[in-house]
Amino acid sequence: MGFEAILKENESHDSLMSIVRNRYSLGSKTSVVLTFNILAKMLAPTGLLPVPVDIATDSDVAMFMGVRLGYPDLAMFVTVGAEAVASYQFYCRSPFVIGGKSFLPEDASTAVEEKRPDFLSK
């Protein structure tokens, strides 16, 4: 299910989360992760799965809005609910919290990991 929303160029993360929670009728305690995936179109022919980019700060929102200028059909993905958010974070190898307990996927580093495909590092 998708919705369209009009965002201001200088939208803050808090106001974006309010828009999303309003659109999907979500309470303030419902777990939500916002992401986008600019590389999906570039990697489609190779068959590789691109890594999503989290939208968790004001600067992430600014980056999304900036990238969207060049790719007007760029979509924002909304992951909702504790189980779905925890699954997403587990597969991204990110720490996550369930019922007040913090979890770190097995073999994951506690250091911040840069989330970009290997071919971009070369």
Predicted TM-score (pTM) above 0.75: no
pLDDT average, residue stretch 41-47: 58
Return the closest-CA partner of residue 49 out of 104, 114, 118: 118
Query: What is the H or E stretch that residue 13 is in?
Result: helix 13-23
Higher pLDDT: 112 or 59? It is 59
- Do 96 and 89 meet the contact criterion of CB atoms below 8 Å apart? yes
Q: How far apart are CA 5 and CA 2, in angstroms?
A: 10
Of these ranges, 17-21, 52-56, 69-73, 91-95, the one predicted with the greatest mean pLDDT is 17-21
What is the enclosing helix (H) or strand (E) of 54? strand 53-54
Cβ neighbours around 64 below 10 Å, total: 20
Question: Can you tell me the distance from the alpha carbon of 85 to that of 49, in angstroms, rounded to the nearest whole number?
Answer: 19
Q: What is the DSSP letter of 24?
A: T
